[in-house]
Amino acid sequence: MLTSAFTGQIIVSGKLFQLLTALTVGILTYIAYHYGKQGRTWEIRQLDALEAIYDGIGRAAETGRPILMLPGISNLGNPQTLAGLTLFGEISQRSAEIGVEAIASASSTAVITATEAIVRGAYTAAGKPELYAPGKYVRWFGGDQFAYAVGSAGQIMSTKPSVILYAGYFLFDVIVSGDMGSRVGAVQIGGTLGSMEMISMMCDHIFIGEELYAASAAITQDKMSMATIAGQDWVKLSAVGLMVLGILVKMAGSDAILNLMGM
């Protein structure tokens, strides 16, 4: 057999399928990138939590209470923090336009700087640059995980926001601020790939898993982020296809697919 001669001499035996999978992932990713570069866009399906954010902005306008955004305990290198800040950019822009205050607090000083820049940009874009003042909307309570949790809980108590958005990297610390959020009766929306169960316990609406990234791509309509998501979707679809094919073959009483996979 060609494969058996091939494996063992050039490819380590039993790893041919793994290598083919890696190549497939590579090719699909590159095709998606290529389409993205050519300007192709994809429509991202409706995300419940994103709709809830839009509703929340309206609710904040009705009640006159602010919207609080927490981008988590990680720094700017973390894609989750970046996705969270993208969401905050959109929220602060929309809020500035209709006169709702969008406030934030972060744990990393780099994130604080980025958040300040976002707020300033939002007020400028909304034509109200005079409303912006440094330190007015963004607060820092120290770099430690729990200092941040306690600080933001204090911020929630004093500002009584109508909506709280947790988007970024969170661990168990979120319980402290989440508990306070539910005490003041805020609608809580959250997404993280850190301690997802704690976020889901506290929040009324959640971004499950990678929905957080999808939401940030849907908001910005950035072609390259959409291309990344589309590329991943194709790989996921291939995985589902392989599973379904394997199940059908298995139901027919054969282990052919499992043997092919080397599992």
* Token pair recorded at residue 179: 């508990």
Q: d(Cα 91, Cα 125) in Å, to the nearest integer? A: 13
- CB 139 to other proteins: min, Å: 12
By C-beta, is 101 or 173 nearer to other proteins?
A: 173
Among 3, 30, 51, 221, binds other proteins (CB under 8 A): 30
- A 10 A CB-CB count for 184 gives 15
- What is each CA distance from 195 to 26, 30, 215, in whole angstroms? 30, 31, 19
Give me the 88-117 binding string for other proteins, x by CB under 8 A, dash otherwise: ------------------------------
Our finding on whether 163 is near other proteins (CB under 8 A) is: no
* Sites for other proteins among residues 115-154 (CB under 8 A): 142, 144, 146-147, 150-151, 153-154
By C-beta, is 119 or 230 nearer to other proteins?
A: 230
Among 1, 2, 46, 135, binds other proteins (CB under 8 A): 46
Q: Which residue matches tokens 């990678």?
A: 210
Q: Are 139 and 133 in contact (CB under 8 A)?
A: no
Among 55, 79, 124, 160, binds other proteins (CB under 8 A): 79
- CB 138 to other proteins: min, Å: 16
φ/ψ (deg, to 5) at 12: -60, 135
Query: What is the distance between the terminal CA atoms of the chain, rounded to a whole angstrom?
Result: 20
Among 2, 5, 10, 158, binds other proteins (CB under 8 A): 10
Among 3, 4, 22, 58, binds other proteins (CB under 8 A): 22
CA 171 centroid distance within chain: 15
Q: d(Cα 170, Cα 164) in Å, to the nearest integer? A: 14
By C-beta, is 11 or 61 nearer to other proteins?
A: 11
- A 10 A CB-CB count for 80 gives 21
By C-beta, is 124 or 182 nearer to other proteins?
A: 182
Report the half-sphere exposure of 39 (CA within 13 A, side-chain side): 0
Q: What is the CA radius of gyration of the chain?
A: 23
- CB 203 to other proteins: min, Å: 9
* Sites for other proteins among residues 174-213 (CB under 8 A): 175-176, 178-179, 182-183, 193, 196-198, 200-202, 206, 208-211
Our finding on whether 19 is near other proteins (CB under 8 A) is: yes
- CB 147 to other proteins: min, Å: 6
Q: Are 231 and 207 in contact (CB under 8 A)?
A: no
48-63 vs 211-220: helix crossing angle, rounded to 10: 70
- CB 242 to other proteins: min, Å: 6
- CB 126 to other proteins: min, Å: 28
Q: d(Cα 51, Cα 56) in Å, to the nearest integer? A: 8
Among 42, 59, 125, 159, binds other proteins (CB under 8 A): 42
